[in-house]
Each structure stands twice: as C-alpha cells, then as structure tokens.
Structure 1
C-alpha cells in the first residue's frame, strides 16, 4: 500500500510523541498495521514481533513443510486436496496465503557481466514483428538480428518467414555488410540451429554446419536457462522494437529493409558503446572490424531448392503461386531453384523456365512463349485461351460471343479478330 507524506508524518508523530501502539495507529488512520511497521522500520525502529494467533491450519503444518521439502514445486491446489483428505476443515484463501509463506524460495542467482574480445563473438536471433500484406497473402514479418558482442554493431534484415533459407541469407548478408565475421556465433535453441539437445550433448542442423565450415566460424548454443549469455541480442531486439519499428511507415518489404539499413548505419551506430562509453557503436565497430575473420572468395549458396511436378496443365506450384513451364515437361519431376527475386525451373540440369518470384497468393505467373506454344498444339486450348483473355477484359464478352454464334458467325474467326 502506498501512502502520502501526510499519513507518514502522522504515524511518526503518534508513535514518538503520543506513544501510541502500532495497532492503535493503524486503527485510527484506517490502514493496515504492516504499513505502520514499514514506516517505523524506515525510521530505524525494529519491526514489532507479534505472537501468532492459533489457526486451524496449525496441526497440518508439519505435514505441509515435509511435503514441500520433498516436492518444492507441488501446486497449492494439489497440496490443498492432500491436506483436505487428512481432515483440514478450512477454505482455500487462508491456505494459499500460508503456503505462499512456507514454500521454499529458490536462491536468486547472480550473473557475471560477460566480457568478450573484439572480433570474438556475435549473437543471433529472430524477432517477430507481426505480419505484412502482399496482395492476397498475409505473410509473417520476421526480423533477423545479429549483433557483435564487443562493439554492439547491429545487423537487421526483415524476411517473410524464419525458414532455413532466410536464416542463411541473414548470415551471409550480415557478413557482407561488415566485410567480415566473428570467430563464434552464439544462438538460442533455434530450430534452424539446434536439431536436438540432451543436456550438453548437441546436434546442430547440418546446413548450419555447412555454413560454418564455409565461413570458418564456430556455432555455439547458449546454455539452458542462461538468458544472460544472449542478453546482447535480446536487448538489441527490444531496442529495435522501441526505437526503429515503433510507428514506422512502409509500403513494401524492400522499403522497410532500406530503412533498416539506414537506421543501423545512422541512429543505431551513433549511440554510446556499452563496452567503452567514450566511443560510439560506429567508432567501436571501426576498431573491431580488423579483428573479424576475412570472407571467402565466394558466398554461401542460399537459394531454395524444391522438387516439384506439373500435372495436366503447364504450371508448377511453388510458395502459394503457379508458374508456367513449356508444355512438353508436364507429368515430369522438376526442380525449383529460387532466391528472393528470381525463380528457375530445371529438368535435370537443364533450365526450362525462369520467372520473377512473387510473394502474393494464388497468382498465375506466365511466360507468353509457354502459352503460345501450347496454343499451336491445342486448337481448343487456343480457343478457350482467347475466350478467357477477352472475358478478363470485359464482362460483356460471353454474351457477345453467344449472340455471334446465334447469328451464324464462326467462333474461331471472331476470336481472332477480337484478339
């Protein structure tokens, strides 16, 4: 309970001048006696110890203490049922109050402030920032965050999911932005990083191991229940939420990432470096950069690879959209190779189609050459295709064509003239 200075002054005056007891002061001022105890203890007086009154729970206290000593995390509801079976006649309110006083408290653990050397370590994590609407598709908006532990330089890039390919893209883009990388990358127990863990026994994701071998860094997960070991990246994500993303306006993902790049180089880089407050983060990074590992000659391949098959129509389905292929390749196993901008379709090692990638939903992305080739093969397909194109241009076309047929016009000729 919070009291004002006037009540606090009255408590001190009634106790020291009028010599009133704690209970009398509490009754007259309409406050709890614990408030009076607190004010007097702050004034330097020892807390008044009162003899406890008998309670119906007293006979059960030895059993409760013994049970809690053996099972310290046992819920109060389960303990109440156990005591009630042994004859406890009281309700839950008093019981819960006493259990909260009797339950063993875990000794709070003190954490050392972790120090790292320049170029030694970076921390990596994902942050969820809601969603973004792209056409008909509502995509999750995920922030890939990597922060150098010594200089606190932040790399920030937004993606439309946190799948492995984007996880790899975030790494490669961060390394290229810094023109180097640290010796150790520290991860939380992300599925993209750790497949399985039993105590200290860890099985890393094989793709992450391939990335680490390519760039020669050591992947290292944080210890279980040791949030202080990855505190730098967690604080960086909170900093991004409050100082970058809050009230941010953008139309596209590309625009958001452009703003993120400017923020990392500008506002974020101008803040004071916690390791050395005489330096800004940008100045500390310039000192740390020569200690980073150098980049290999070729970047790691972060393209997506997925087996697909075209059924009866000359399209394959990839990431919620349909892409056209030459009609000769229907009913055949194919492979899609995609980055964030382009999509290639392979038959074995031979590329049969290339499209600009779409992150919309239920879109039909076509190469006119594919469709025209099918028109030449299928007269009926050509006719239906012409009808579809005209129907898309005007809602009056179906009625017009029906009237043309009734008047004896040849449908194929009519479609050719209209197209």
Structure 2
C-alpha cells in the first residue's frame, strides 16, 4: 500500500518507524487465586489428534480434572466428546479421587452452558441433574478468561509433554492403562507447587477427607435413544448395525449404550445385547437372532414354495395332495421339487409330475429319476448342483434362473 502511494524506501525503515511510534500496552495484572482443601476442581477437554480403529478414524480426546488445592489430577482418553462421555468421566474421576469437590470450574462448554448473556447463564439440564446427584456446584469461568482455570490448563500442558509426547500404545485401553500408572508414579509424585517440601499424593491424602462423600449409587451416564429398524432386523447406532429379533422389525425400541456395551430394550425387557464397536460400517450379529430368522424364513419359504409349484406346474396341486394323503413330509418334498424346478424348468417338471401321478410313484425321488431319464434320452448334460455356504441368509435367498440360450447361439455361430 505504501509503494502504491509513492514510498521508495525499504521495509526495514517502516518497521523501525512503527516500533518507535506504536502505543505500548501495559501488561494485565492478575490476582493470585487460592482455594481451600476440597473446595474446587477444574475441568477441561484436550485434543490429542486422531486414533484409527479398523477402517475408521476417531478423535482422541483427554478428559482432565484437577483438584485446585492438592493439584491431584484424573485424566482419561476417550473417543468422543459427547455429554454422556463427559459425565461418565466425571464419575470415574470422583471414584479415583475418593470424593467430590464442592464446586467444579468449567470453560463455557456446550455440555455445560447452553446460553450465556453476561452473568446470566442457562446450564444444560442434564449437567444440573448430574450436579444435584453428586452435590457440587458447576461454575463456568468468564468468556475468554483461560487464566481463571490455569491449573487445568497447565495440567493439560504437563500431560501433553511429559506423558503423551513420543509415547507408543497398541489400543485405547493400553493408553489409559499407561496413563493411570503415569499419574500414580509421576504426576502425583511431583512436588506440590505451593509447598515443595510435600508431594502431590501427600496433599491428596490430606484433602480427601474434606471432599464430599460419594452417593450410594452412581449416576447413569449411558446414551439413551428411541429408534426402530427398517425391513431388516438391524438398528443403526454410531455408524454400525446391531441385530435385533426379527419379531421386532419396524417397532420402536430403546437403545442404551455405554462406552463398552449396547443394549436394546422393548419397554423394560432387554431383547439384545452387543459389545459396542468403535469402528464404522460394521454389522454386529447375535447367532440366536439369525437362527430364529432362518427358522422363520424356512417356514415361510415352504408355504411360498407350494404356491410357486402350483403356479408353475398344473399337476403340482394334485401331486402335493397325494403326498399329504400318504402322510409324507411336505417340507422336504417341496424343497426338493423346487430345486428340480430351478434346474429343469417348469415344462420338464410338469411332464415328470404328470407321469409320476399316472404311475402312482408319488415322491420327489421318483420325479427326479424321471427327469434324469428324460435328459439321458435327449443326450443332454447332467444338471450340476451348486454348493452354498452355511450362512442361512445365503441359503434362504431366492434367485430367479434365466435362460442361457443366447450363449448357446453364440457357440453355434462360432463352430465350424
């Protein structure tokens, strides 16, 4: 801009001039804040990059809670910053420290503050319910005043450079296990900042009797959602599909999820339980659900199979009636006749059924023998069976066969 206005000098001269004439701002002074034992703790989140689990990348976050007087801390790595995860980490911190401080100082997190106008604050109702259960007072610090929670900010810096830097780990559980040992052996063994003659763990033992006692039961921090499946017996949660009984398809269910378990409830009755998957795009199935669906589908296929035989072959109705009069196993004969229908076609099967009825040879084996005899007389190749896996979803699938005469015509055209 200066050159456009005709300035011919160097940038160095401009910097020197600005340095001489820039107004000098006075450094802001801060009060030293001191607290009593058991009076306050400071809480915050910290980001530590991302963690790959299978084919998914999850954010790696650390929950950090520091007792303001003893500087004892609790930290835990998690894969989400949801409200449920936030409250769950509070519960674990209270248990690890042996009590609850009377107030907790927060940044203006959305999990804590829904709306703020000056000193007028609307807290998240779930956090207020949690605070009432443990009898502490939530206190957000002033906006853009990170110095008010400097103890937790310094603890995060300490955690980031003393523990996490260059550390190797195999999983989230391994990382948290190493973190617990580091807190016990290193963080709590360091000198107390305000009294270097004592250690942090000694100050914690002195502060612990002054913390509020834990309630008789822990606060429920599970994710609770109402959802329903589509036409398939699966419900989707956090990018993964979890199986449910096929009788509950499209019905509203209640999902209750912790950081390790996913439960599905029909009213108050638990209908499914799965280990929570932190990967994405996975399908978690219960063998009982698949077995019940397969048994149900086999019965349905049996009824639909009889209708298909009747529609394809006029003699099928009389043949099935003859099987029933002999107390034959209809499901087995129907399944075999359907396989013959797929392999030989409706015209050949109708001819074999008519011949079998006229001879009194009532049975799927007799029909199969007549079909094979007819193919040998016509000098046709034998029908080869297709081997399928044991998965009931594959075995119960119905595929409509198509004519291959177009390919046969191509072969005849190329032959000499």
Is the TM value for this pair above 0.5? yes
* Stretches (4+) displaced over 3 A: 88-106, 379-383, 404-407, 409-419
For the 8 Å contact 1:376–1:382, the answer to whether it is kept is no
Whether 2:219 is the aligned partner of 1:244: answer no
How much does 1:89 deviate? 4.8
Q: Gaps (5+ residues) in structure 1?
A: 1-76, 384-400
Whether 2:274 is the aligned partner of 1:355: answer yes
Q: For 1:302 and 1:353, how far apart are their aligned partners in 2? A: 19
Match of 2:188, SS?
helix
How much does 1:162 deviate? 0.9
**Aligned residue runs from structure 1 range 9-408, under 5 A:** 89-90=6-7, 93=11, 98-99=17-18, 101-379=20-298, 407-408=382-383
Q: For 2:38 and 2:132, how far apart are their aligned partners in 1? A: 18
Closer/same/farther in 2, CA of residues 96 and 175 from structure 1, 3 Å limit? same
TM-score (norm 2): 0.70
Q: For 2:239 and 2:95, how far apart are their aligned partners in 1? A: 31
How much does 1:190 deviate? 1.2
Closer/same/farther in 2, CA of residues 415 and 175 from structure 1, 3 Å limit? closer
What root-mean-square deviation, in Å, do the aligned CA atoms of Structure 1 and Structure 2 show? 2.9
Post-superposition CA distance 1:328-359 (Å, at most 9, x none) = 11112222101112111112222211111111
Q: For 1:161 and 1:416, how far apart are their aligned partners in 2? A: 35
Q: For 2:266 and 2:15, how far apart are their aligned partners in 1? A: 69
Match of 2:77, SS?
strand
For the 8 Å contact 1:272–1:280, the answer to whether it is kept is yes
Q: State which drifts further: 103-112 or 312-321.
A: 103-112
How much does 1:99 deviate? 4.9
How much does 1:413 deviate? 9.3
Closer/same/farther in 2, CA of residues 321 and 381 from structure 1, 3 Å limit? farther
Q: State which drifts further: 95-104 or 359-368.
A: 95-104
How much does 1:225 deviate? 3.1
How much does 1:415 deviate? 6.3
Closer/same/farther in 2, CA of residues 416 and 359 from structure 1, 3 Å limit? closer
TM-score (norm 1): 0.70
Q: For 1:310 and 1:180, how far apart are their aligned partners in 2? A: 42
How many aligned residue pairs are there?
Answer: 317
How much does 1:227 deviate? 2.3
Q: Gaps (5+ residues) in structure 2?
A: 303-338, 344-380, 396-416
Match of 2:256, SS?
strand
Larger Rg over CA atoms: 2
Closer/same/farther in 2, CA of residues 90 and 313 from structure 1, 3 Å limit? same
Q: For 1:294 and 1:96, how far apart are their aligned partners in 2? A: 61
